[in-house]
Amino acid sequence: MSLDNHEELQKFIDLSEHYRTYLDEHDNSRPDGRSFSQMRPVQILDNFLQHSYGSSMIRFGNTTVICSITGQLTKPSLKSLRSGFIQTVVLLPRTQAWSTYGRRQQIINENLTLSQNLLDIIYKSKLINLEDLCIEEGKWVWCLQIDFQCLNNDGNLFDSCLFALNVALRHTSFPTVKVDPDTQKPLVYTKDLQNLEYNKEQQPLCCTIAVYDSAQEYQYLIDPTLEEETIAKSLLHYVLLKNDQICLIHKTSGAPFSPEKFHHCYSLARDYILQLRSKLNQQN
């Protein structure tokens, strides 16, 4: 946050002007040196929390996200006796909430939209089958709690959260639970761990594209940083499954956008997700 040099000062005063001058001077590169379709380096760290059943830490450039999967026991609802529950929470860094709202009273560090989108993806892509969370029909089910904590937000939270979820699911193991036939109380065997059943074939991954409007010509910025997200005309999220099927498309803002451009973005997203997927599987 130093304003010592000219570049930092210009960024502070007018971010989009800074971007425009940079793009005029340089051909096909962004201020951080990447080309438009290049992604930031990805770092993966898995199983690093000891209290969680499964966890991972992901870094996309400076964006750092921790994903933790824990579970609690609960009774199923009367509508569906065999299905468990899933809850997702995305927490933003409190520092960021602070600088945005300025005052201490108002710290909104929960990203509701992102939490709900992630939950929808898990449900609709059948990544986790709710019936797999059943312990005994009508008596006990698991309530899966998936928490994302963002340590530093430098843009592209959606991609990193979904990637972190895929990594964390791979090593998630739950304690074995049996139900006592006399008292109906669950018996938890903490030493006896078994892997969580989930659909390994789906692997939903997200690609975020920032559409930047420079001189009547759209530039598509893949894996945008926070600065790029703020100056972008609109943001596009494509979530693709392993067989290149579209799981979710989301476009922010009301800026007009022709169907051909959606097709173009889809092909960009597919290439990016292919790279991301190879990184994910390499780690196995």
Partner 1 sequence: MEQPEECFDPLQFAVDLDLTKSTDENTDEKVYISKSLIDRANGSSYIELASTKVTCAIYGPRETSSSSDESYSKCLLETSIKFSPFGRQKRIDPLLVQYDNDDDCEEAELCSRLEEALLPCILLHKYPKSQIDIIIDVIEDDGQHLLSAIILSATVALIDACIELYDTVVAKSLKRDQSLFTLCYMPNLAQVSCLFFDGEATPAELDVLTDEAVKQCQLLHKAICKVVISDLKAAVTSNGKII
Q: Does 177 bind partner 1 (CB under 8 A)?
A: yes
Kindly tell me the burial class for residue 41, based on how many C-beta atoms sit within 10 Å of its own C-beta (0-12, 13-18, 19 or more): exposed
Q: Which two tokens stand for residue 44?
A: 């993966």
Measured distance between the N- and C-terminal CA atoms of the chain, rounded to whole angstroms? 38
Residue 204: exposure state from Cβ atoms within 10 A (0-12, 13-18, ≥19): buried
Is residue 44 part of the contact set for partner 1 (CB under 8 A)? no
List Cβ neighbours of 33 (8 Å cut-off, separation of 6 or more). none
In the shown chain, the binding pattern of residues 192 to 231 toward partner 1, with x for contact by CB under 8 A and - for none, equals x---------------------------------x-----
**Should residue 188 be labelled a site residue for partner 1 when binding is judged by CB under 8 A?**
yes
* Among 191, 258, 260, 282, interactor with partner 1 by CB under 8 A: 191
CB 206 within 8 A of CB 39: no
Q: How far is the CB of 207 from partner 1 (least distance, A)?
A: 23
Q: Is 98 in the site for partner 1 (CB under 8 A)?
A: yes
Q: How many CB atoms lie within 10 A of CB 68?
A: 22
**Nearer to partner 1 (CB atom), residue 153 or residue 202:** 153
Q: Does 64 bind partner 1 (CB under 8 A)?
A: yes
> Do 17 and 232 meet the contact criterion of CB atoms below 8 Å apart?
no
Which of 16, 81, 82, 93 lies at the binding interface for partner 1 (CB under 8 A)? 93
Of the listed pieces 59-67, 216-224, 253-261, 269-277, which binds partner 1 according to CB under 8 A? Answer: 59-67
Cα Rg of the chain, angstroms: 21
Return residues touching partner 1 (CB under 8 A). 1-2, 4-5, 49-52, 55, 62, 64, 66, 68, 70-75, 77, 79, 85, 87, 89, 91, 93-96, 98-99, 103-105, 107, 109-110, 119, 123, 143, 145, 147, 149, 151-154, 175, 177, 185-192, 226
